[in-house]
A and B are shown apart, each in its own frame.
Chain A
Amino acid sequence: MTSTVNAAALALGDDALVLSHRLGEWAGHAPVLEEEVALANIALDLLGQARVLLSMVGDEDELAYLREERAFRNVQLVEQPNGDFAHTIARQLYFSTYQRLLYGRLAATGDGDFAGLAAKAVKEVAYHQDHAEQWTLRLGDGTAESHERMRRACAALWRFTGELFQPVEGLDVDWRELEADWLASVTAVLERATITVPDGPRTGAWSAGAGRQGLHTESFGRMLAEMQHLHRSHPGATW
């Protein structure tokens, strides 16, 4: 396995692992039982993808539980706190659209290092994207309160979406075309949801490519502390 393939597997694996953990934080807190189950199911799919990807690099448990914050290569979007339900849905809309388009391309390469996983995962992610789209429409085109919360969430996370298209070494993808497709897809959903497409920058000078280089936002350290606490306190524990 070449080092660029390792680096790409780490980037995609960390995206899936970190978002899976964030979604898992909804357990016991989701607005209704069906959503609790839905978010847990999406988290489980992502965890499965993370396990395959991290196992390409090394020991999955060591990578998940024993790395420091700076060693994680996930985009900053996935580490953003859950916020209210609208924030979680906006994060899901932005990320699952990206993941579906990216995995679709990786699957199409046929024999690339990631083709097998991508062909499988893209079918799961199609359900994640559908779930996020349906909620974006329902909240955006719902009550005045739900519209305002959905609008606010989409605007707040907009600046983390540019980083998704920073080229990942080891992945043979036309990133500009991917970005154009993503923008067209997300724009179409937001317009149907009666939400104005945010007009702010999609990256800040301080955040461009930052997560992929190991620079993360403030809340990520706290998330990792919680995620890694048990494993670090009881090394080698089993049940």
Chain B
Amino acid sequence: MVTGATAMTPLEEELSRLAGSVPDPELPVLTLEELGVLRGVHVLSSGRVEVELTPTYTGCPAIEAMSSDIERVLREHGVAEVSVVTVLSPAWSTDDISAEGRRKLAEFGIAPPRPQGGTGPVPVTLAIRCPRCGSTDTELLSRFSSTACKALRRCTSCREPFDHFKEL
């Protein structure tokens, strides 16, 4: 989600598309735009651009790789000076992942997060579909998995373990 779209110039829109097309370093099937972490692109003066990025989790180490990837892409496009700033507010939510992003996650073998409104853990009783065989008969192995944003589950039909992008 790119906010502040009302005031964007055609150049800013173009740079937003470029920055948003950068793949996530951990989940390369997703772009930063689909992940919903790009908050804004502002041309400060000729050749100077500021990009606002929000972390999925406060301690997510991928944010540094995202920043340097954005800087590289925009520099290659001729922007002389790129600064990426991290913004925390409003807090990122898994609801910010686009419909296309969710589809790609499932295709990649990661169960996408369920839509939510409030905060905090979603009751595990809501069905989470196995991204391999499609069964809704799955169980939680651990609330924490290979990265901060995922939980580890197992499908009781096909017996395969899989990651679930947990709701935040």
Q: Which residues of A contact B (CB under 8 A)?
A: 34-35, 37-38, 40-42, 44-49, 51-52, 115-117, 119-124, 126-127, 130-131, 134
Contact = CB atoms under 8 A, between A and B. Distances in A.
B144 A120 contact: no
B119 interface: yes
Given A38-B143, A49-B58, A124-B57, 5 more contacts: A35-B142, A49-B59, A52-B58, A119-B88, A120-B92
A18 B58 CA distance: 16
Nearest to A119: B91
Interface in B78-128: 88-93, 119-121
B142 A120 contact: no
Interface in B12-43: none
Contacts of A115: 89
A130 to B, nearest CB: 5
Nearest to B94: A123
A-B CB proximity, top 10 nearest: A48-B59, A48-B58, A116-B89, A38-B144, A34-B142, A120-B91, A126-B120, A41-B144, A44-B59, A116-B88
B119 A45 contact: no
A206 to B, nearest CB: 34
A48 B144 contact: no
A120 to B, nearest CB: 4
A117 B88 contact: yes
B144 A37 contact: yes
Given A44-B148, A45-B57, A116-B88, A123 B143 contact: no
B142 A123 contact: no
Interface residues of B, number: 26
Contacts of B148: 41, 44-45, 124
Interface string B124-141: 000000000000000001
A126 B141 contact: no
A130 B141 contact: no
Contacts of B65: none
Which of A41, A42, A122, A126 neighbours the largest number of chain B CB atoms within 10 Å of its CB? A41
B89 A45 contact: no
Contacts of A117: 58, 88
A127 B143 contact: yes
6 contacts: A34-B152, A37-B145, A38-B142, A41-B148, A52-B88, A123-B91
A120 B119 CA distance: 10
Contacts of A52: 58, 88
B60 interface: yes
A40 B146 CA distance: 10
